[in-house]
A and B are shown apart, each in its own frame.
Chain A
Amino acid sequence: DVKVTQSSRYLVKRTGEKVFLECVQDMDHENMFWYRQDPGLGLRLIYFSYDVKMKEKGDIPEGYSVSREKKERFSLILESASTNQTSMYLCASSFPDRWSGYTFGSGTRLTVV
């Protein structure tokens, strides 16, 4: 069964910590994405990548960075976690044409205290 795997379902971190969220896909997808999902705001794109070592800013990149050293792995980094980064984080991947839609991971519920 093809899938996108996010390393943690739940995380609790302290303000100011550096946080790493890992995402791995086994579908040989070129495109990978990081979204956050908040009630009433829907899914908002943080960063995306079309290829290894390539990254592009999405709609809300402030306070985040990403790394894509291998095709199957896309990491989201919170440089200095803040309480307003408490959210559900979703990783997704797709083929370049995207007509088959995105495949999402199960999400990481991050709480920053």
Chain B
Amino acid sequence: EDQVTQSPEALRLQEGESSSLNCSYTVSGLRGLFWYRQDPGKGPEFLFTLYSAGEEKEKERLKATLTKKESFLHITAPKPEDSATYLCAVQARSGGYQKVTFGTGTKLQVIP
């Protein structure tokens, strides 16, 4: 069974204090790994897709990296507006269907 585990569950940072969120996964036949941001009371918003180990993607203060077993979302000099829950998801082939499994997320709070 495909599994996605995110850590920590919650993270509190001071503004400007850089850190990383972790997403470890166990899947058969990884097709892609996704990061989403979710604000309270809203649906997740797509951030990145990573396809293969060694790949990196950047967007503003966020950088996502991928290895064969995990992905990291690095947040550099975060601002209060980066506060949100960050979700990781993996896409794997399951029979004829490309199944997407979501983690439970890391809730990030950035304090001014």
Contact = CB atoms under 8 A, between A and B. Distances in A.
A43 B87 CA distance: 10
Contact of B41 (A4, A45, A107): A107
Most buried by A among B32, B46, B49: B46
A84 interface: no
B61 to A, nearest CB: 19
A87 to B, nearest CB: 14
B91 interface: yes
Interface in A82-113: 90, 92, 98-107
Contact of A102 (B41, B46, B97, B104): B46
A42 B49 contact: no
A106 B41 CA distance: 7
Interface string B30-67: 00101010000111111101010000000000000000
Given A45-B100, A98-B32, A104 B43 contact: yes
Contacts of A105: 43
Interface of B: 32, 34, 36, 41-47, 49, 51, 87, 89, 91, 97-98, 100, 102-105
8 smallest CB-CB distances across A and B, nearest first, come from A104-B43, A101-B46, A42-B104, A43-B102, A42-B102, A104-B44, A90-B43, A99-B49
